[in-house]
Each structure stands twice: as C-alpha cells, then as structure tokens.
Chains A and B, each alone.
Chain A
Amino acid sequence: MKKADLITGVVLLVLAGYVIYEAWLMPPSGTFGPGSGFFPFWLGIILTGLSLILIVGAVVRPKDPNDVSPFPTRQALFAVTKVLGGLVIFTVLMETIGFISNTFIFVTYLMKVVQRERWWVTLLIAVGTTACLYIVFQVLLGITLPRNMFGF
C-alpha cells in the first residue's frame, strides 16, 4: 500500500495543480459574489492538502511486512484487459456493424476467448443474450438500436 499511496498522492497532486491553474484563468464574476472559478479553486486547494497528507503518511509510515500490494497480478491484469479491450472494440463498432451482429460477436468473444467455454454453450448464450437485449430495448422499450448498411 505504501508505494500505491505514493503514486496516487503524486497523481492527485498534479491533478490539483491543473485544477487550480485552470480555475485561476477563469473569468472573475461580472457582478458580485464568487465567480465560476471560485468553487474549483478551493476544491483544488483542498485536494492539494489531502494528497500531501497521503504522500507524507506513506513516507512516514514504517514498513509493514504484512503489507499487501494492491496492484493486480500480471494474470489478473491480463484477464481484465481482455474484457476491457473487447468492450472498447464493441463500442467502436456499435454504429458501424449494427447492434445485432455486434452484440453477437462481442458475447461470443467473451464466452469463447475470455472464458474458454465450449462452442455450443457459447453460441447458445450469444444468441440468447442478443435476442434478450433486442426484445427488451427494441420491442418493449421502442428504442431504435443502431443498424448496419444491410439493415439489421
């Protein structure tokens, strides 16, 4: 946790600096009372203080042998990236290849590549999920889901 706190502390400190800088540049209120930069400015100041407490706390704290690192293992990180990567591609393709084919491909990917299911389970779930979402959103809720150039 010590290392993690140091890193988050520095990241938050940089963020706070950016916020204060931006808030400083915002135009002062035209009439009276605080302007638009007032609130973010003070938030930035508070965040500066908090991140300093975090950093100092991490430095001062004695090394604890039972300290567990919060960073995920390489294996866990790989599993998470696989899901996230799929989701990003799913989002990019949403408006080009249409909802039905896109969802089918994405669920197939999640079942087969990420979770290594058998083919018949994969296809069953992919068809089932796509149909289920189509019925809920398009039929019951009447929302027009994106289609591809072939109209589905």
Chain B
Amino acid sequence: MEIFNDLIMGFHVAFSLQNLFFCFMGTLFGTLIGVLPGIGPTTGVAILIPITFGMNPTTAIITMAGVYYGAMFGGATTSILLNVPGESASVMTCLDGHQLAKNGRPGPALGMASMSSFIGGTFAVLLLTFLAPPLARFAVSFGPPEYFALTFMGLTLVTSLGGDSPLRGIISGILGLLVACIGIDAQSGVARFTFGIMYTLDGIGFIGVAVGLFALSEILENMEGPMEQMVSKTKLRIRTLFPNLEDWKNSWKTIIRGSLIGFFIGILPGAGATIASFMSYAAAKKFSKRAEKFGTGVIEGVAAPESANNAAAGGAMVSLLTLGIPGSGTTAVLLGALLIHGMRPGPLLFTSNPEFVWGLIASMYIGNVMLIIQNMPMIGLWVRMLKVPYKILMPLIITISAVGVFATDNNLADVWVMVTFGIIGYVMRKMKYPAAPMVLALVLGPMVEMSLRQSLTISHGNVAIFFTRPISAVLSIFAILSLFAPLFRILWNRYKARGKAAV
C-alpha cells in the first residue's frame, strides 16, 4: 500500500525532535487560546505566522495546525465550567455542558468533551489520510475553468453559510477581492490601485491584514467595556473526569455520527467547525430517545458538538491541502501562511512536497494524542489559567502582534497595514460584517482572477466555458445555487407564512 509507505515516511518527519517539540508547543498554545475567551483560533494562528516565519515550512505549519485543532479541544473547558464559549465552535457545548457542571457532574462533562474531541479528531485524520491522495490525483486534471469554479464556490459558500446576513458576507468578500487587486497585476505588469505608494506595488501584506482584521480588532472590541474577571471554584481531580459506562452507552453513537458530520462539513469549502457543531447537535437531538432532555444536561449534548468540531478541523485540512481552498477564516490564514513559506497547496503538493504533506498529517495523529494528555491530567491547570486577567493579556497580545508583523520583513509599512485593517475590522465587527470572507477572498483573489482570465482567454471571452466542462459545470451551478440559497429560504418562509394565513 502506497499510502502506508507515505504515512510511515510522514511519521519519520514528524518524530524528529524539533517537530515533536513544536507540535507540543502548538497544541499547548492552541488549548490555551481555546480556554481563554477573547482570543480565537484565527487570532492565534495569525499571531504565530511572524513567529514561525524563520522555521522550515513543515515545522511552521505543524505548529500552526496544532493551534487550530488544539483550540477546538480547549474551547470546551470554559463552555462547561463558566457557560462562556472559549471560541465560536464551542457555543453548542455550553447548552448541556454547563447544565452538567451545575448538576454536580463537571468532571465527566469535561472528560467526555476531551475524549469525544480526541475520537473525532483522530477519526478525521484517518479519513484525511485515505481520502486526500485520491482526491489530489483527481484534481490534477483541473484546468483554469475548474479552478475558477472551485474558488468561486468556496467564496459563495463562505458567504452563504457564515453569519446571519448573506448580503454582508458577500460585500465583505468583494472588498477582500478588491484588496487582492492592489499591486502589480501579475499577468500584464500594470500597477493597480497603488495610490502612488511604493509599498503597495508589491500588494498588501497578508500578515498585516490577517493580524489586524482578527487580533487587533478583537482587542479593540474587548476594550470597549471592562472585562469581568471569571473565576471557577470547581475542584477537579483526574479520577472524577472519567465518564461512566452509562455515559458511554448514551454517547457512542453520537460520537460516531458527530465525527462523520464534522468531517464532511469540514471538507466543504466555506463551512467550518462552528456549523459542523451546530448540525451535529441538531442531529443528536433528532435521533435521541430523550430529545426532550437536551439542554438540561445530557452527556450526548457535549459529545455531539465536541466530536464534530474536531473532526471538522481535520476535514478542513483535506480541501486545504488537496485543492488549496480553505474552508474557514482560520484555514484561510493557514493558507496564507503556506504561501508565505513557498508551499502552493493544491493537487501537486502531494507529489512535489510529500515530506511536508505526510509530515503534517502524521503530526496530527501525534498532536491528538498530545492533546488528550494535556487536557485530561492538566485540566486543573487550565482552569487556573482563567484567573489570568485580560488586563495583563491585552498588552502582551497587542505588542506581540505589532512586533511580529514588523519583524517578518523589518518593514514598518506592514505595521501600518495592521493598524488600518484593525480599524476596518473593528468597524466591520460593529456593523456585523463577517471578517472571514474578506480574508478568504484576499488569499484566493489572485487565483480567482488568474483562473477567470485564463479561462476567458481560452474560450475567447465566452462565459459558457464554465458550464460546458462537466466538473466545472457542477461546481459552478452549485456555487450559484448556494449564492441564491438564502434568497430561496426567505421566499419559502414567506410562502409558508402566507399559506398559514390563508388557512
């Protein structure tokens, strides 16, 4: 089996001392970010780009990927103990998790969260191992029209699935594409939207935009009001963490279902861990014999979202690595990081940089094991971490962002980009515009434009090219449908409401 050989080679790479150490650091940092409310995984990965800049690409991405799936683990802790989600993918965990903690069972809730996270995460990496290579082989035959259709679909999905207002999502995406246009056009050498500034000729620095849009704007929003200090008085011992046999009996089906839902939602470009956790919770409730008890503290209510959000993190890596299409804000930032390190994600990555791809996949197996070790015995430590007030973290995050952005190129202009996009991000947060489509569009922008123009050159300007080739036709139609899906939903609701009124 070729895959096994590749995987063994990957473990060789991942088991080097340096990679093991940074996998550990990444997952540890990820758990910390997941535990602390006020910093999400996207911010964490964005801050790490400058710090990992000098490393070799494999180690750098292993670290950042560790932060991504580590945050999914850590997010459950605050949801259960304090009813405050550590990040958006753990919102659903609050519902039953916090009720369990109130009913005197915080231990099993936390234990089940860690274990279902571990199962979901490992399951997703397994599927990733076996699904990614054939998908990459399939995608090798993609030409410009297919790539345009694919990136277009990624953008429309992220706008229609994320956030409650699709219009705002689309506007955010278009603005991102416009920012991507700034600089010298790679195909014709024409300078576009440079405002006569030297710096902009080379395009707007991605690191500055990502850190500003996520890290800085998050700080600014948190500064508006005083952050309350959160203290949990729960005393936890490792022995109390293990769910009992009945808990397992109630949850094992949910965990399997959650892992599957999470993985396949994660693969879809544009859908992420948050949506996966919502869908998994809904499915668990629907198939449960005690659906009416959901929300009052049932253990499946913790297992469902936690298995799904970890599996989704694995699934998102499939489309990121094989197609080069990120599914969420965090993976968009990861894609930006890959490009900075000279890695071009896409079908050819598996043949051109096998050590990198398989080293990363192998590190995810190791990382999941590390995470369950970090989360079970050390849970008390994480609970104590919550006592670190935001007042102390804020100066650290803001200076590490600014210095990090500066240090990547020793260019002050990048810091100004960060400040500018920090303000833009803050205004967007206030006006309820999602930031993820903008970052996604900024990363994909050059690819969208190039594949569009190449396709139209091939077809002598005929748009039909996107609909006459089978793969691109399916993807294009799906993209257009997803773009209008919210509209159909509104019309359907109106139609139903009218029907009711008539009766």
A: residues with CB less than 8 A from B are 1, 4, 8, 12, 19, 22, 26-27, 29-30, 32-40, 43, 46-47, 50-51, 53-54, 57, 70-72, 76, 79-80, 82-84, 87-88, 90-91, 94-95, 99, 103, 106-107, 110-111, 114-115, 117, 125-126, 129, 132-133, 136-137, 141-145
Q: Chain A residues with Cβ under 8 A from B399's Cβ?
A: 90, 103, 106-107, 129, 133
Complex partner residue of A110 from B53, B394, B400, B423, CB under 8 angstroms: B394
A33 with B412, Cβ < 8 A, contacts A26-B190, A76-B224, A83-B223 known: no
B170 at the interface (CB under 8 A from A): yes
- Contacts A94-B412, A115-B391, A142-B54 given; does A12 touch B171 at CB 8 Å: yes
Nearest chain B CB to A6 CB, angstrom units: 12
* Nearest-Cβ distance from residue A111 to partner chain B, whole angstroms: 6
Closest beta carbon of chain A to B133's beta carbon, Å: 33
Q: Which residues on A sit within 8 Å (CB–CB) of B419?
A: 84, 87-88, 91
Find residues 425-469 in chain B having any chain A CB closer than 8 Å to their own CB: 426, 430-432, 449, 452-454, 456-457, 460-461
B193:A22 contact, CB within 8 angstroms: yes
With A50-B174, A137-B403 already in contact, the answer to whether A39 and B412 are too (CB < 8 A) is no
Contact of A137 among B171, B185, B407 (CB under 8 A): B407
Asked if residues A136 and B392 are in contact (CB atoms below 8 Å), the reply is: no
Q: Is the CB of A136 within 8 A of B192?
A: no
- Judge whether B177 and A43 touch: CB under 8 Å: yes
Q: A50-B171, A80-B224 are in contact. Are A70 and B402 (CB under 8 A)?
A: no
Contact indicator A40/B220 (Cβ below 8 Å)? no
Contact flags B161-193 to A (C-beta < 8 A → 1, else 0) = 000000100110011011001000101101011
- Residues from chain B with a CB closer than 8 A to the CB of A106 are 395, 399
B4 vs chain A, min Cβ distance (A): 37
B219: interface (CB < 8 Å)? yes
For A40, list chain B residues within 8 Å (CB).
178, 181, 192-193
A141-B48 Cα distance, complex, nearest whole Å: 12
A141, B404: Cα distance in complex, Å? 11
Which residue numbers of B lie inside 8 Å of A, CB to CB? 51, 53-54, 167, 170-171, 174-175, 177-178, 181, 185, 187-188, 190, 192-193, 216, 219-220, 223-225, 391-392, 394-396, 398-400, 402-404, 406-407, 410, 412, 415-416, 419, 422-423, 426, 430-432, 449, 452-454, 456-457, 460-461
Nearest 7 A/B pairs, CB to CB: A33-B457, A76-B224, A36-B185, A36-B190, A110-B395, A107-B395, A39-B449
Q: How far does the alpha carbon of A91 sit from the alpha carbon of B460 in the complex, in Å?
A: 49
Contact A43 B174 (CB under 8 A): yes
Partner among B185, B220, B392 whose Cβ is within 8 Å of the Cβ of A84: B220
Instruction: Assess whether B407 is in contact with A53, with CB atoms less than 8 Å apart.
Output: no
On whether the beta carbons of B51 and A141 are closer than 8 Å, the reply is yes
Chain B residues, CB < 8 A from A19: 178, 193
The answer to whether B219 touches A83 (Cβ under 8 A) is: yes
Contact B403 A99, beta carbon cutoff 8 Å: yes
A5 CA to B488 CA, complexed, in Å:
23
By the criterion CB–CB under 8 Å, are B407 and A129 in contact?
A: no
Residues A87 and B391 in contact in the complex (CB < 8 Å), given A26-B190, A43-B174, A145-B403? no
Cβ contact within 8 Å between A53 and B167:
yes
- The answer on a CB contact under 8 Å between A72 and B430 is yes
CA distance A46 to B483 in the complex (A): 13
